[in-house]
């Protein structure tokens, strides 16, 4: 399979074209690297070739490295995978350096051949790192193109020279958002900060013209010239020192020290800036190897890249069901949730009928999309024409008959079984017999709601997370009678609106809320015990949770938690385990402290809704104990409250695939992304250690921490979740 082709034009410019067969975007493989090096060698050895342009036959340049390359490097090391990774990285650096030096005399820096990159569009990861090795980067004038190094977002960092070259090219401060945040830029913004050199309507023609006119001095990198100084100052320079001190504080503040890749990239930049360029590349390779051998990075890659991509491509889709692409969706209820569903559907080009009890309410729901587009226009990311086109896809009405012709209904009315049953019957009398009916609910059992349907095999649950336009996860819930076509329809719809689906079986709270609620409850329970509220929330953040349980319940609203608690207690009776939690939450609700929406909850807020600090009145009712628990104890309680429910959901066959359990946890409620998810975290911790902690927590705090039989069995056998339940993902 040929990935790179090479030809010399009539002007003596060698053109190397990247075009990976069968892929919408190029990704780099070991075979591709070998082909590319062969072509570079041929061009440098041919006196008739005046210079080289590297480009792509696709509308984009490259999406990054094929992750199989990293596995192949490790395998090459045999019993020492770290050595295989380091040697493979250094081989890659040597080749990239060959492009950069382009055959020039190492002493005089003359006689080299100019090499340019002509990017027709997006260049990410090694695609950009390859371009950075060339002597000039040209990019098409395409606002949709993205230029950047997003590796940090999946637990890696740029390991093909990007970590070393960017700070030397732009300075550490300018490079920080690209390296530490994975920030992506459109071509014009990339040019404005010096990431690329030119934006052109015809980057290929511009690149060829430059190659033919370039001088010896034009192709010598600044760091190869005598007297080079890093823009903004090196770490030992008075101007550069505070930059690195500030960057270290920023990284620690944002990551709380739990993301190893962020610390590694900063160390590689700092240490590399103290030594010559080629030594800096060795430092980059060492840190890259360190990160690749770190279980956290492996877990993040597995969940946030490999498994997420597989789920988005339909890993859980029933086999043999033809395409179920949605042409028109009817959305019942134009409140916050329904309005958000209408917006994301219209953004995907789907016709929407948005229905509410009154025309005024329906119009108000549609106005959410108008306001969304207005914000985009204000930021320069939209136009009045695009706004008009989007709004034309949404019909807001109080007439249920307008739903005729819809092939999917998403019901998003109040969380009341009676109301949901009423609208189900009303709608099914209007829509066609092939229409799939999906109910959006966060807690109500789907199988019970389906009893109101005359076609229960075409009835399914779709749990959107709020706000719909920002949250990436959608939980699809199969009722007892939900058929394969209803599952496929829901999955295809979620794919259309560009979100990540997980599919679970029906049970109280499904999967996500089943794990979130114990986390919140454990935090509230500790407040009632006299644990310092700040310790509770900060302990969670130091484990990588985006917000602590008390801040989270303020955000979602305390009164919602009270409603859920009352419904759960009614269903469970004497077996209900959370009376101690309710004592705190009900007291707060009775005081009217409902969370951020009332500007009063566990935290105090100013008149603009800004969080000020823990509410003073909390300590008056629940005094803070003098003997505060150990940080690790608080963290164990908060983490195991979540992961034990994930294991029980797997035992109960609610969760069907541990990949969905991990991806769903990270995207749904932000479960410690550094860990790869609940099952990833348990694999890092080890089942035996997890059981030991559970037994201790059970003895001190009660049966809610009792070890699930599955986890104890795995501890006895020395099993890992990803070896037992998903060997492919483990590899």
* DSSP 8-state symbol, 436: E
Strands (DSSP E) contained in 545-610 are 603-605
**66 φ, ψ to 5°?**
-65, 120
Nearest to 395 by CA among 345, 358, 355, 424: 355
**What does the block give as tokens for 332?**
């019942």
Contact 208, 13 (CB under 8 A): yes
Rounded Cα distance between 337 and 331, Å, is 10
Torsion of CA 617, 623, 627, 630, to 10 degrees: -50
Q: What is the DSSP letter of 691?
A: H
> Which residues fall within 8 angstroms of residue 359, CB to CB, at 6 or more apart?
396, 397, 398
Q: Tell me the sheet residues that pair with 124.
A: 148
Residue by residue, DSSP assigns 343-410 as: HHHHHTT-EEEEE-SSHHHHHHHHHHHHHHHHHHHHTTS--HHHHHHHHHTEEEES-GGGGTT-SEEE
Residues 510 and 443: their CA atoms lie apart, in Å, by 7
Q: How far apart are CA 657 and CA 317, in angstroms?
A: 12
Catalytic residue, from 39, 135, 463, 636: name it.
463
Q: Which helix (H) or strand (E) holds 667?
A: helix 658-669
- Number of other CB atoms surrounding residue 609 within 10 Å: 9
The partner residues of 354 in beta bridges, in order of sequence, read 331, 396
Phi/psi for 53 (5° steps) reads -120, 125
Q: Is 463 a catalytic residue?
A: yes
Rounded to whole angstroms, the Cα distance separating 643 from 522 reads: 13
Do the Cβ atoms of 453 and 424 come closer than 8 Å? yes
Kindly report the three-state secondary structure assignment for every residue of 226-280. Answer: CCCCCCCCCCCCCCCHHHHHHHHHHHHHHHCCCCHHHHHHHHHHHHHCCCCHHHH
Closest CA to 668 of 491, 541, 546: 546
- Provide the 3-class DSSP secondary structure of residue 618: helix
Q: Which helix (H) or strand (E) holds 553?
A: helix 549-556
Catalytic residue positions, numbered: 463
């Amino acid at each position: 399979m040929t990935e790179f082709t090479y030809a010399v034009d009539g002007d003596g410019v060698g053109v190397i074209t990247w075009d990976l067969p069968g892929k919408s975007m190029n990704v780099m493989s070991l075979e591709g690297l070998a082909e590319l090096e062969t072509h570079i060698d041929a061009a440098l050895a041919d006196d008739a070739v005046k210079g080289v342009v590297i480009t792509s036959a696709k509308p984009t340049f490259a999406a990054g490295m094929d992750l199989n390359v990293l596995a192949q490097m490790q395998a090459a090391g045999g019993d020492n995978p770290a050595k295989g990774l380091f040697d493979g990285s250094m081989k890659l650096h040597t080749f990239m350096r060959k492009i950069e030096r382009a055959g020039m005399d190492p002493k005089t820096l003359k006689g080299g051949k100019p090499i340019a990159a002509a990017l027709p569009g997006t260049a990410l990861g090694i695609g950009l790192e390859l371009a950075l090795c060339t002597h000039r980067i040209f990019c098409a004038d395409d606002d949709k193109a993205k230029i950047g190094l997003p590796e940090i977002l999946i637990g890696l960092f740029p390991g093909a020279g990007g970590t070393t070259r960017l700070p030397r090219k732009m300075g550490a401060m300018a490079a920080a958002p690209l390296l530490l945040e994975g920030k992506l830029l459109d071509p014009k913004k990339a040019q404005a900060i010096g990431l690329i050199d030119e934006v052109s309507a015809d980057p290929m023609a511009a690149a060829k013209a430059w190659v033919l006119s370039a001088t010896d001095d034009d192709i010598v990198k600044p760091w190869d010239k005598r007297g080079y100084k890093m823009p903004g100052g090196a770490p030992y320079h008075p101007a550069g020192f505070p930059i690195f001190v500030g960057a270290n504080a920023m990284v620690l503040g944002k990551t709380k020290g739990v993301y190893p890749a962020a610390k590694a990239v900063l160390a590689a930049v700092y240490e590399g800036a103290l030594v010559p360029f080629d030594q800096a590349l060795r430092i980059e390779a060492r840190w890259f190897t360190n990160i690749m051998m770190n279980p956290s990075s492996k877990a993040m890659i597995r969940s946030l890249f490999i498994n997420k991509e597989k789920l988005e491509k339909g890993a859980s889709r029933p086999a043999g069901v033809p395409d179920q692409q949605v042409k028109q969706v009817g959305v019942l209820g134009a409140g916050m949730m329904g309005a958000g569903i209408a917006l994301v559907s219209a953004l995907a080009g789907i016709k929407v009928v948005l229905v509410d009890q009154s025309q005024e309410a329906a119009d108000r729901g549609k106005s959410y999309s108008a306001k969304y587009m207005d914000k985009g226009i204000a930021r320069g990311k939209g136009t009045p024409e695009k706004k008009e086109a989007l709004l034309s896809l949404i019909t807001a009405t109080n007439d249920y008959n307008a739903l005729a012709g819809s092939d999917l209904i998403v019901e998003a009315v109040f969380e009341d079984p009676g109301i949901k049953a009423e609208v189900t019957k009303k709608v099914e009398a209007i829509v066609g017999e092939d229409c799939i009916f999906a109910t959006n609910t966060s807690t109500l059992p789907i199988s019970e709601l389906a009893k109101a349907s005359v076609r229960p095999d075409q009835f399914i649950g779709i749990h959107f997370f709020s706000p719909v336009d920002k949250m990436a996860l959608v939980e699809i819930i199969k009722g007892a009678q939900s058929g394969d076509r209803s599952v496929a329809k829901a999955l295809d719809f979620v794919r259309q609106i560009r979100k990540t689906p997980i599919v679970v079986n029906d049970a109280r709270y499904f999967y996500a809320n089943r794990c979130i609620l114990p986390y919140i409850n454990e935090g509230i329970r500790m407040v009632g015990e006299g644990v310092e509220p700040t310790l509770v929330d900060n302990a969670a953040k130091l484990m990588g949770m985006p917000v602590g349980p008390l801040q989270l319940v303020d955000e979602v609203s305390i009164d919602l938690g009270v409603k859920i608690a009352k419904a759960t207690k009614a269903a469970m009776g004497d077996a209900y385990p959370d009376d101690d939690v309710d004592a705190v939450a009900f007291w707060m609700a009775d005081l009217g402290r409902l969370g951020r929406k009332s500007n009063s909850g566990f935290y105090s807020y100013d008149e603009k809704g800004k969080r000020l600090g823990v509410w003073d009145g909390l300590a008056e009712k629940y005094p803070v104990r003098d003997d505060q628990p150990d940080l690790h104890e608080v963290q164990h309680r908060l983490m195991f409250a979540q992961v034990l429910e994930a294991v029980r959901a797997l035992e109960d066959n609610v969760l069907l695939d541990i990949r969905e359990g991990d991806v769903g946890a990270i995207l749904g409620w932000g479960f410690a992304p550094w860990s790869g998810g609940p099952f990833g975290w348990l694999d890092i911790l080890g089942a035996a250690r997890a059981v030991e902690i559970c037994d201790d927590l059970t003895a001190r705090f009660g049966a809610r921490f009792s070890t699930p039989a599955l986890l104890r069995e795995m501890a006895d056998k020395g099993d890992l979740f990803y070896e037992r339940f998903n060997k492919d993902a483990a590899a």
